[in-house]
Amino acid sequence: MTVYVDDMRAAYGRMVMCHMLADTDDELHAMAARIGVARRWWQSPAKTSGSHYDIALSKRALAVAAGAVEISWKQAGCMNSRRRITGELGDPADAVEWLSNYMDEWRANRAAAAGETQSCE
């Protein structure tokens, strides 16, 4: 089980924010408590595209010091998409490729269902 922090840099007032996500909500909430992020800042799946916290860069540094894995913003988005599809975040190392392959397959299936594919016969 792992907690991840991305490299997004979004201005929010005078703060700069990024995302923190984890394999499980229990792990996510435990890290938030450990680094001093209030539970009320949790972005739940019912409210957003996936379970995460938006955290300030100062909290990101604390999370990394506490063992969080640094990932890219693109990896975080792809991992979150994979979680919506499969229920698992998966490995950040293959997240972008996984989503690309999934979308290619989805498009091919959609085209085949619509009768848009061409035969090589």
Confirm whether 59 is domain-assigned: yes
- Residue-wise pLDDT for 38-70, tens only, equals 999 999 877 677 899 999 999 999 999 999 999
Confirm whether 79 is domain-assigned: yes
Q: Which residue range forms the structural domain that includes residue 101?
A: 3-111
Confirm whether 106 is domain-assigned: yes
Which two structure tokens, joined as six digits, stand for 71? 């990932």
Confirm whether 117 is domain-assigned: no
| Side chain identity, residue 93 | A
| Side chain identity, residue 53 | Y
- Residue-wise pLDDT for 94-103, tens only, equals 999 999 999 9
Q: Identify the burial level of 116 via C-beta atoms within 10 angstroms of its C-beta, where 0-12 means exposed, 13-18 middle and 19 or more buried.
A: exposed
CA nearest to 5, candidates 50, 42, 52, 48: 52
| Whether 80 contacts 21, CB under 8 Å | yes
pTM recorded for the entire structure? 0.85
Confirm whether 38 is domain-assigned: yes
Say how many domains are in the chain: 1
